[in-house]
Structure 1
Amino acid sequence: MKTHPNNKISPDAGLEEQAWVWLRLLHSGDVRQWDLDGFKRWVRTSPQHQAAFSAVRHHWELVKSASGAMAPVAAADLGITEGKKNNPRLAKPGRRLFMGTAITAAAAAAVAVVHPPFGLWAAPGEWGADDRTVIGEQRSFELNERVQLTLNTQTSIRRQVVADQVAGIELLGGEAAVDLASAGRVFSVSAGVGKSTSSEGRFEVRYLEGKVCVTCLAGTVSVSHPAGERTLTARQQTVYDRRALSGIAMIEPQLISAWRHGEIKFNEVALGKVIDEINRYRPGKVVLMNDAVRNKPVSGSFYIASLDLALSQLQRSFDLQARSLPGGLYLLS
């Protein structure tokens, strides 16, 4: 929980996102009784939930007030009157109001650019990528005679060329698998502040939300980081961010690499994290609005090509209500 100096509760970004979804649904004109019941359960979950909804409702009212004040001005400027009413002409909005509106719009646009909604376009850090996959797309191709590269969904890379040869890639975001057909020159994958190198074998690098996960499937992989180095062998993994490098952990390759065979697999993974992973592959967005089940464990395998079926299975397993809205928005409450 976050607090301000005046001891008011400050909701986190995740709860505010959920609150915006609830607010849009409640103002959609198509609210069902179970929607209202779900909302009541959600908002009563904690003081943070109540604070999140109060914050977005306050912002909503400000936007409505601004829109309502400006609409009659536009009508008056056009000389439009309604019936025989003698409505007083409102003064034109001053430069300060105009500038305030412009600044608000510019700020909203900046947020949208830095954090593209639903992955509809690349974030600034991924601009200028040599290769990129979109939501749900996977692509495999040869970089040279001995390097096979597979890009998972929403992945961007830049090729690193030395002496007219692709000697490595910079992973800007997403997940990439490297298969080296034979021993030879070192191939590298840079991601964040670290670099992974190998001269033979198979390895995968996943770079999401500032965290990098390096997995060795065969051969050896050396991971260099400002905090140290790790050497991985088959079935080993390490994780780093900009500040720290973890130790070495043993992994099950069939879970980590399932995406290369059209599946995503989970073993005792929290439902909230399962939903996050599904959102990487599915157009639109799934929003889990029932925090009571967010940390419930999930084990199973889902086909990437039929994730809506997976969502139906999760809905039944956790006794959730499901609601599909335009734009691929899918609510679980």
Structure 2
Amino acid sequence: MMRFRTGAAGPADLAALKRWSETSPAHLEAYDRMSRAWIALGAVAEELSSANSVARYARTAPSAASPGEAAVTRRALIGGALAASVAGVALSVHPPFGFWPSWSEFAADYRTATGEQRQITIDDIGIDMNTRTSIALRPAAGVVRRIELIAGEAALSSPAEDVLTVEAGNGRVVAAGARFNLRHDGGQVRVACLDGDVRVECGGDARVLGPGRQVLYSEHGVGQAVAVDTNAVTAWQGGLVIFRSTPISDVVEEINRYRPGRVILTNKDLGRRQLSARFRIAEMDQVVGQIEQVFGVRATMLPGGIVLLG
């Protein structure tokens, strides 16, 4: 668990965890107990999100806590434990902070770790996988190829002679002789057509996208197609992230995709401010420093890669 939390885990660690969990029901129980512990820590993080709590935690080692401060910590831990008691098996679907893979991601045939990118080819289908991406191969018939994007982001190229179906969330993308970028996170799926035409299907609704068009779908259905800058969409393939008048709340979510640990936004007003910049993915920690300088805020560093920003 510690290796997954710090981002040091690789494919071998994932395979080992999967084998370990399948050898005994007690192991699965242990996994859920560990998840409950991290839910409790999540409550502590929420407690730290208040201005008074942040002020108590400087970059230097904290002094001995007063009885009042200790009581706050106990309340946070008790609240976290209560939340964990009702979370149940949902923990295996949504691990706290996304520190380790969900059980659905264990079904992946290909997976990238935090900050890792990978290129693969499956039956002449070219796939560029971005950070924290899980892909599974699904049974198909004839010239149809089926892939599931369980989580993460990928750019795919389908040969003209075959029909490629990519399932993601509660919908799917059908393409032949096309290139497209697919991102699945937070219950939403974003499809951007880069070349050729792709068909997006979800809940009985469908959209056909041409080059430079993008659509978002979720459990609520398929949105309207909009124009998109394909260079910005695929910038990650060149090792870049591009922010254009992007709310800081969205910037923080993007940072968290590429670095181990977690940046937690503690200032809602800051979350509504906007940032325009470009950064190298290998230097994502610089984004936090840039936000500090531009908006006059402070980042508080905690163990385990946790950063409180506000």
Report the TM range for the smaller structure's normalisation: 0.7 to 0.9
**Aligned equivalent of 1:124:** 103
Provide the rounded CA distance (Å) in 1 between the counterparts of 2:74 and 2:246.
36
Deviations 1:229-252 (A, max 9, x none): 111010001111112111110000
**Aligned equivalent of 1:59:** 75
1:227 shift after superposition: 3.8
CA contact (8 A) 2:117 2:131 kept: yes
**Aligned equivalent of 2:130:** 152
Provide the rounded CA distance (Å) in 2 between the counterparts of 1:331 and 1:258.
27
Provide the rounded CA distance (Å) in 2 between the counterparts of 1:315 and 1:29.
19
Provide the rounded CA distance (Å) in 1 between the counterparts of 2:287 and 2:271.
16
Is structure 2 residue 36 aligned with structure 1 residue 20?
no
Provide the rounded CA distance (Å) in 2 between the counterparts of 1:104 and 1:118.
15
Amino acid at match of 2:171: G
3-state SS, counterpart of residue 279 of structure 1:
helix
Deviations 1:187-246 (A, max 9, x none): 111112211011112101111111111110001101112241111010001111112111
Amino acid at match of 1:273: D
CA contact (8 A) 1:143 1:166 kept: no
Structure 2 CA distance for partners of 1:178 and 1:29, relative to 1, 3 Å: same
1:303 to 273, 280, 293: 280
Provide the rounded CA distance (Å) in 2 between the counterparts of 1:62 and 1:116.
19
2:227 to 246, 250, 265: 250
CA contact (8 A) 2:43 2:76 kept: no
CA contact (8 A) 2:59 2:301 kept: no
Alignment of 1:48-87 (within 5 A): 59-60=75-76, 62=78
Is structure 2 residue 257 aligned with structure 1 residue 280?
yes
Alignment of 1:162-241 (within 5 A): 162=140, 167-180=145-158, 182-241=159-218
Provide the rounded CA distance (Å) in 2 between the counterparts of 1:323 and 1:129.
35
1:321 shift after superposition: 1.1
TM-score in terms of structure 2 length:
0.74
Deviations 1:33-88 (A, max 9, x none): 9x9xxxxxxxxxxxxxxxxxxxx767337589xxxxxxxxxxxxxxxxxxxxxxxx
Larger Rg: 1
3-state SS, counterpart of residue 159 of structure 1:
strand
Amino acid at match of 2:76: W
Unaligned runs of 5+ in 2: 1-41, 63-71
Structure 2 CA distance for partners of 1:28 and 1:299, relative to 1, 3 Å: closer
**Aligned equivalent of 1:320:** 297
3-state SS, counterpart of residue 121 of structure 1:
coil
Provide the rounded CA distance (Å) in 2 between the counterparts of 1:274 and 1:58.
32
1:104 shift after superposition: 8.1
Deviations 1:146-201 (A, max 9, x none): 21011111111111233598812111111111023x41111111112211011112
3-state SS, counterpart of residue 100 of structure 2:
coil
1:298 shift after superposition: 1.0
Q: Aligned residues, how many?
A: 259
3-state SS, counterpart of residue 255 of structure 1:
helix
Unaligned runs of 5+ in 1: 1-14, 36-55, 65-100
Structure 2 CA distance for partners of 1:105 and 1:201, relative to 1, 3 Å: closer
Amino acid at match of 2:223: S
